[in-house]
Amino acid sequence: MLVNKKSFVLKGTMLIAAGMLLASCGSETPKEDTVITPPADTVKTASAETEEVSYSLPSPLQIASIFKKSGLKYKDGVTSSQKDPSKYTTNLSKALNLGVYSADLSYTVLNKQNQEAMNYMKLCRSMADNLGMGSVFEQSNLSKRFEKNIGNEDSLAYIIAELQMVTDMYLDENDQQQVTSIVFAGAWVESMYVGSKVYEKGKDKSLNSKLAEQMTILGSIINSLKSQEKKDPTIGGLVADLESIKTVYDALPSVKNNPAAADDTDKEMTLTDDEVSTLTKKIEELRTKFING
Q: Element (H or E) spanning 3, and its range? A: strand 2-3
CB 95 within 8 A of CB 186: yes
CA angle (291, 142, 36) in 5-degree steps: 110
102-134 per-position pLDDT tens digit: 999 999 998 899 999 999 999 999 999 999 998
Task: Give how many domains the chain has, as a whole number.
Answer: 1
Average confidence (pLDDT) over 185-203: 91
Q: Tell me which residue range forms the domain holding 118.
A: 2-291
Please answer whether residues 211 and 279 qualify as being in contact, where contact means their C-beta atoms are separated by less than 8 angstroms: yes
Mean pLDDT along residues 26-31: 42
Rounded to two decimals, the pTM is: 0.81
pLDDT band, very low/low/confident/very high, at 10 (cuts 50, 70, 90): very low
If phi > 0 it is left, if psi is from -120 to 50 it is alpha, else beta; for residue 4 that is left
Mean pLDDT of 251-273: 80
Q: Where are the alpha helices (DSSP H) in the chain?
A: 14-25, 60-69, 91-110, 114-130, 142-148, 153-173, 177-202, 205-215, 218-226, 235-250, 253-256, 259-262, 273-291
